[in-house]
Amino acid sequence: MSLTRTQVEGIAHLARLEITEAQMPVYVDSLSRIIDFVEQLAAAETAGVEPMAHPLADQVQRLRPDAVSETDQREKFQQNAPSVAAGLYLVPKVIE
């Protein structure tokens, strides 16, 4: 499926992208190839494939030990903050 210039302009508007005249042919071609690839993926036979509960089924995932690796430096970091109370950063209200 090839996208038209008008369709790409609409996509750019929705994404709030400013595409120049020189860039437009590149975007039309690139987005058309992406859509073609997605259509290829959609054509793959998936009827007999069971969904996985986890991608590492029957495997053991190595985890690092749950150990403290840094010291608490909250007081040091909050010295630079304009306003702090009870260990929390106070910020101006932005929603009324």
Does residue 33 belong to any structural domain of this protein? yes
Q: For residue 77, is it within any domain?
A: no
Per-residue tens of pLDDT for the chain, all 96 residues: 789 999 999 999 999 999 999 999 999 999 999 999 999 999 999 898 888 888 777 788 788 899 999 999 999 999 999 999 999 999 988 887
In a domain, 19, yes or no: yes
Distance separating alpha carbons of residues 10 and 89, to the nearest angstrom: 42
Domain assignment of residue 52, yes or no: no
Phi then psi for residue 4, to 5 deg, are -90, 165
- DSSP state string for 69-91: -S---HHHHHTTSS-EETTEE--
Residue 30 included in any domain: yes
In a domain, 37, yes or no: yes
- The number of domains in the chain is 1
Q: What gap in Å lies between CA 59 and CA 45, rounded to an integer?
A: 26
Domain span including residue 21: 5-42
Question: Any idea what the CATH number is for the domain that residue 14 is in?
Answer: 1.10.20
